[in-house]
Structure formats: C-alpha cells, structure tokens
Amino acid sequence: MTSLELFERYEAINKQISDALDRAGRNDSAELIVVTKNHPASLITDLASLGVQNVGENRHQEASQKHNEVLRNVSDGAIDTESQISNLNWHFIGQLQSNKAKAICEWANVIHSIDSQKALNHILLHPNKPKFFLQYSADRDQKRSGLGKEDLFALTELIPETEVKRFLGVMMVAPLNVNPEATFEQLKNVSDELQERYPEAKYISAGMSEDFEIALQYGATHLRIGTAITGKRSSSG
C-alpha cells in the first residue's frame, strides 16, 4: 500500500468513528489504536508520520523487535518523524502469558489483556508503570483469554490504592458467531458496575475492523483496528 492509500484509509476510518459517535449521541471521543501486528516496523513509522499516536501489537517478541527497530531508526536520523515516534503509545493487546509480562512492560505503555493474578502483579510492580485494562470474557470460552465478571472483580481487589490511577477499565474481544450487540452491552454493564467502585477506570477497549461501529454504540473508548486501515496481514493472527 502506498502512503497515500494508507492515509486515505486512516482518514476514512476516522470519519466512520466520528459518524458513529454522532449516531450514538456521544460528544466524547474514542482513541484509535492502529493494530500493526504481522506488519513490518516501517508501517509503524509511516503511521506515526501520518499522525497516528497509538499502535497495537499482540505478540511480545515481534513487538519488542519492532519497537527497537523504530527507535533505532529515529536515533540514526533515518526518519524525520522523531517527535511523532517519541510520542507514540505502544499497546499490548494479545494473549498475555504471565512469564512475558515483565518483558512486555519494557516496551508497552498500555497493556489491555490482563486476566491473571500473576500477570497483574508483574505489571503492578514494574517500574515503568504501564497503564492497563483487565480483559473480560463474555462467554468464558476456555480457549480464549479473559475473565468472567466475578473473577474480574476479584482481581481488582489486588490493585493497591497507590496504583489505581493506572487502571483504565475493561477490554474484550467479541466472541465469534454471537450477537455482537448483546456482548457489547454486557461489557458496558460490567464497566458501569466497575465504575461504582473505581470511577476512574471508565474506559472500554472494544471494537475491531468488523465491529467498531457497534462497539461505539455501547460506550467503547479504545478501538483496536487493524485490517481496515493496514490491509491484509502477511500471516494470520
């Protein structure tokens, strides 16, 4: 894809997001995280130069390499988007193995997919202090990540008062083959209940290329959009 095409696709998605916010009667905005997994580091540099402020990755090793590469290119002066790159927020959105949690904190500013006590503890203790979401599972499918409501609320009890400001809210990947409206509504209800106890954990990470307009109707604040902007990925994931 040329950078003009990339720009046009990015602009088109931004327009769809603002239209969907209008339709939902919302006057807040939503954070767009462009998912760059399975694409080269150069795509991240291109996106940053278009003004993208948030990129999302789902595998530690791939992301960590790309993070190093992007920063190296900046220090070499190979690219002229230094301020955009240094302002870029890196989001980890993939399945979180607790033994990788510490390493992920080395490059990720925001971790979306915490669903275990071990991973949460690593992240709470890390000096880089990344922000985080807890991942909710609407159907509690054992094969996928995420916690049911009770387990998710139990995990919040482990967040010490001093770290609560890093707790952004809940994240979900909508299960396939189910009514997306019903699942996004379920997530919204979990978020509302959570905010009774943690008023600042008011953010909802939900909505991908296929379902972000629906997610916006149900309060999504952080959209994770890949293919609709970047085109097809070189391998699945």
Residues of this chain that bind ligand PLP (CB under 6 A) = 35, 37, 58, 93-94, 173, 208-210, 224-228
Closest approach of Cβ 19 to ligand PLP, in Å? 18
Length of the chain in terms of residues written: 237
**Among 56, 193, 29, 40, which residue's Cα sits nearest to residue 113?**
56
DSSP string, 203-236: EEE---TTTHHHHHHTT--EEEE-HHHH-S-SS-
**Among 165, 171, 159, which residue's Cα sits nearest to residue 125?**
159
Closest approach of Cβ 230 to ligand PLP, in Å? 7
Q: State which residue, 1 or 208, has the beta carbon closest to ligand PLP.
A: 208
205, with CB counted inside 10 A (0-12, 13-18, 19+), is buried
Closest approach of Cβ 93 to ligand PLP, in Å? 4
Q: State which residue, 84 or 113, has the beta carbon closest to ligand PLP.
A: 113
Other C-beta atoms closer than 10 Å to the C-beta of 192 total: 12
Residue of this chain nearest to ligand PLP (CB atom): 226
Closest approach of Cβ 58 to ligand PLP, in Å? 4
Closest approach of Cβ 97 to ligand PLP, in Å? 14
Q: State which residue, 116 or 209, has the beta carbon closest to ligand PLP.
A: 209
Please list, in sequence order, all residues whose beta carbon lies within 8 angstroms of the beta carbon of residue 235, skipping any fewer than 6 positions away: 38
Closest approach of Cβ 161 to ligand PLP, in Å? 29
70, with CB counted inside 10 A (0-12, 13-18, 19+), is buried
Other C-beta atoms closer than 10 Å to the C-beta of 128 total: 12
Q: State which residue, 74 or 111, has the beta carbon closest to ligand PLP.
A: 111
Rounded Cα–Cα distance for residues 164 and 198 (Å): 8
Q: State which residue, 81 or 183, has the beta carbon closest to ligand PLP.
A: 183
Q: State which residue, 122 or 224, has the beta carbon closest to ligand PLP.
A: 224
